[in-house]
């Protein structure tokens, strides 16, 4: 099971939108996918996907259920874990509960090929816990200069803790492929110059009204408008993410 954490520092860049739709695109490629909503402040994956989960991470933190038992079926065959405010409870529950949680994460490999964490804005310890749990951190950046500096700041904190941490980037909400390339170039340049590391590009997802439309309609884009340009961009990113396992193993 490959574990990816979607992050990026800045709020509103499209972490949740991409985590959810890439999860569905991976499921459409035949992968068994669990999407873990690890955003403490604004857990909203269930709203975005139009599903209601009966159970959430609190039941696991309390010890009433195991992680596998709180999986909720979602669109395109993905399965959902609703974390929300229980993430804080998990962090406060002490090392024993945390160790149990970590072993339950690993047990998910019996039912999943891919686990995607959607994290909130910022880089506090609670977010870092999930980023460090992942095999790969996926930074979402937009052409907004503050997004590029926030993504860089996240990379900096991660690299400081682990110089070899695998980090890749999706550029979201660019107006053209040219702009998207420039954003990745700028972020990779500062990371190379100041941190001595190269970032891996997973491609880009351009600004598209079909994205806004799907969110307003609370209908998953990959189901509602699978032929839109944005859905095709996402399918390509999912392909790149799928190839990443092989790429990292051969590195």
Ligand X SMILES: Nc1ncnc2c1ncn2[C@@H]1O[C@H](COP(=O)(O)OP(=O)(O)OP(=O)(O)O)[C@@H](O)[C@H]1O
Give the residues lining the site for Mg ion (CB under 5 A). 15-16
Angle, alpha carbons 197-165-39 (nearest 5°): 120
Q: Which stretch binds ligand X (CB under 6 A): 14-22, 56-64, 66-74, 76-84?
A: 14-22
If one asks whether residue 15 binds ligand X (CB under 6 A), the answer comes out as: yes
Find the shortest distance in angstroms from Cβ 147 to ligand X.
Answer: 9
If one asks whether residue 7 binds ligand X (CB under 6 A), the answer comes out as: no
Q: Which of 26, 211, 237, 241 binds ligand X (CB under 6 A)?
A: 211
Cβ neighbours around 7 below 10 Å, total: 32
Pick one of ligand X, Mg ion, none as the site partner of residue 205 (Cβ within 5 to 8 A by kind). Answer: ligand X
Q: Which long-range contacts (CB under 8 A, 24 or more apart) does 222-227 make?
A: 222/21, 222/24, 222/25, 222/28, 222/75, 222/76, 223/24, 223/75, 223/76
* Cα dihedral 165, 2, 13, 121 in deg (nearest 10): -70
If one asks whether residue 12 binds ligand X (CB under 6 A), the answer comes out as: yes
If one asks whether residue 225 binds ligand X (CB under 6 A), the answer comes out as: no
Q: Which residues in this chain contact ligand X in the complex, by CB under 6 A? A: 11-17, 39, 42, 120-121, 172-173, 205, 207-208, 211-212, 215, 230
């Amino acid at each position: 099971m490959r574990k990816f954490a979607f992050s990026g520092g800045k709020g509103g860049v499209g972490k949740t939108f991409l985590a959810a739709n890439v999860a569905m695109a991976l499921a459409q490629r035949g992968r068994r996918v669990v999407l873990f909503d690890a955003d403490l402040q604004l857990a909203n994956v269930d709203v975005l996907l139009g599903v209601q989960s009966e159970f959430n991470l609190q039941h696991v933190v309390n010890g009433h259920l195991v992680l596998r038992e709180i999986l909720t079926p979602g669109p395109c065959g993905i399965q959902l874990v609703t974390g929300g405010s229980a993430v804080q409870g998990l962090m406060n529950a002490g090392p024993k509960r945390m160790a149990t949680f970590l072993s339950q994460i690993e047990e998910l490999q019996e039912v999943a090929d891919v686990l995607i964490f959607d994290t909130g804005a910022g880089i506090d310890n609670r977010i870092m816990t999930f980023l460090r749990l992942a095999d790969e951190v996926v930074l979402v950046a937009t052409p907004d200069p503050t997004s590029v500096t926030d993504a860089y700041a996240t990379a900096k904190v991660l690299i400081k803790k682990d110089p070899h941490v695998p980090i890749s980037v999706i550029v979201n909400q660019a107006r053209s492929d040219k702009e998207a390339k420039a954003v990745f170039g700028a972020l990779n340049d500062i990371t190379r110059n100041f941190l001595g590391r190269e970032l891996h590009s997973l491609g880009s997802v351009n600004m598209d009204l079909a994205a806004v439309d799907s969110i307003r309609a609370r209908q998953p884009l990959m189901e509602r408008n699978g032929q839109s340009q944005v859905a095709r961009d996402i399918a390509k990113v999912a392909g790149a993410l799928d190839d990443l396992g092989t790429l990292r193993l051969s590195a």
